[in-house]
Amino acid sequence: MNENNNNEIEQDVNHLMQIRRDKLEELTKNGRNPYEITKFNRTHVSKEVKDNYSELEGKDVTVAGRIMAKRIMGKASFCTIQDSVGKIQSYVSTNDLGEENYKEFKTYDVGDIIGITGFVFKTKTEEISVHAKEITLLSKSLRPLPEKFHGLKDTDLRYRQRYVDLIMNPEVKDTFYKRSQIISEIRRILDEKGYLEVETPILNTISGGATARPFITHHNTLDIDMYLRIATELNLKRLIVGGYDKVYEIGRIFRNEGMDIRHNPEFTSIELYSAYEDYNDMMDITEEIFRKCAEKVCGKTKITYQGTEVDLGTKWKRITMIDSIKEASGIDFNTINTNEEAMKIAKERNIEVPSGKETRGNIISLFFEEYVEKTLIQPTFVYDYPIEISPLAKKKKEDPRLTQRFEAFICGREYGNAFSELNDPIDQYERFKEEIQARENGDDEAGMMDEDFVNALEIGLPPTGGLGIGIDRLIMLLTDEASIRDVLLFPTMKPLNEK
């Protein structure tokens, strides 16, 4: 669209806005300012009227909503209003409202919010409607709604003006109803299992619990820099030390990283911890959460995501990271035991190894990302991760170079991360020191030393299983959305005035 067309559209919008402001001024002069109304008593929403027509036919109801369409036909008109659950038509005539009120109704605009009282009936075309006896203007829309919301094409505008997106696109509203249902279902599952929902601080003096770059803010009274949390892990494990057997938190996480269709700087995760369990138990509960959430919002466990059928109702495949690499690439890291051997095979396969990552464990992870991750379409648990990329997971007794950790994959994406939690304070202290060394070598995603957490482990953390699931990605999967921005009501956006 060229600049001249943009200017013409802007002029048209400004003209229409002025007309609406003039109408508001006239209403106010006549003592009918809609903004002075503080309450309106509805008896029904649109869906209730339609679902209960046989009981409500001929009876008076009061509904309210936004005008989405109007047809003026002399002394009688039709309008359609939209509320939170759907739309309903109303028949409006001068005989029922009186000449003055009908004249005022004709000045109402698409976008205005009105209340209607009248009796329920069916039109000649069998459409359930409300025969209006009284209409009240509840809010004047001073800015016109788009006739065909161009946000369908302009996704940037849809995300910036989500309120318009929700008005014009009912399927978008449905996605966020499902989001709420999914979160409620997760809570129900865990509450029934005896988990306690808790809240932990968003602001922390140490950034830890994950490998990620934090946001930094400043506390004026204490005159110290603080970090927005990148995970809830360390505080939740403190609560297990304190004597709770099962805890979980659903909350916002903040990571100062890139943005794409799978990543937003702030997102929602659930982390849960259960004493006396391990990562095998966490696999079981992951399967249950995904299966029951699918049943709740999709009504089935076989779903389609972006054209691919996924079965969430069967037992998920379980495979070690090393075996998955062997299946996909033919390289068996069980036969590669030194950093030098790993670097050699990485060079042969043209795997670029970042500076500071020249270890067998890091190279195993790079091979997995290159050869395996994108091939994991059906639900799969990949387990036994190298220690270098798992600073908070317990070592495997059989091979201390690996940890009791898994990630859950579907359609080539990671959906969950879990450990048999490291509860050895001496081991944890040494791993924190390694993280500090990595930070000093330029890795701004590496963790920090958390001496209080080590102190908590010294008090004693029982054997514990822990799990984290990306709520937004789960919602994307169950609503068949390709971008995380389509399941966030208000995704992070760059200001319009910044180039």
pLDDT digits (tens, 9 = 90+) for 13-39: 899 999 999 999 999 999 999 999 999
Same domain, 133 and 175: no
Locate all alpha helices (DSSP H) within 155-278, ordered by sequence. 155-160, 162-168, 170-192, 233-241
Local structure of 184: helix, strand or coil: helix
Show the domain range for 207.
168-316+378-486
Same domain, 126 and 215: no
> Residue 155 falls within a domain, yes or no?
no
Q: What is the pLDDT of residues 414-441, one digit of tens each?
A: 999 999 999 999 999 998 998 888 888 8
> Residue 44 falls within a domain, yes or no?
yes
> Residue 456 falls within a domain, yes or no?
yes
Same domain, 25 and 118: yes
Q: What is the pLDDT of residues 59-91, one digit of tens each?
A: 999 999 999 999 998 899 999 999 999 999 999
| CA pair distance 50, 88, nearest whole angstrom | 8
Is the per-residue pLDDT at 280 higher than 90? Answer: yes
> Residue 372 falls within a domain, yes or no?
no
Same domain, 309 and 198: yes
> Residue 365 falls within a domain, yes or no?
no
Q: Two tokens at 408?
A: 């859950």
The radius of gyration computed from the CA coordinates of the chain, to the nearest angstrom, equals: 29
CB-CB neighbours of 151 under 10 Å? 20
Parallel, antiparallel, or unpaired: how do β-strands 216-219 and 224-228 relate?
Answer: antiparallel
> Residue 277 falls within a domain, yes or no?
yes
Cβ 135 vs Cβ 114: under 8 Å: yes
Same domain, 250 and 198: yes
Query: Would the pTM of this model clear 0.75, i.e. be above it?
Result: yes
- Which CATH number does the domain housing residue 127 bear? 2.40.50.140
Is the per-residue pLDDT at 202 higher than 90? Answer: yes
Domain count, the chain: 2
Q: Two tokens at 86?
A: 């759907």
443 pLDDT band, cuts 50/70/90, is confident
Same domain, 86 and 194: no
> Residue 65 falls within a domain, yes or no?
yes
pLDDT at 103: 95
| CA pair distance 379, 316, nearest whole angstrom | 5
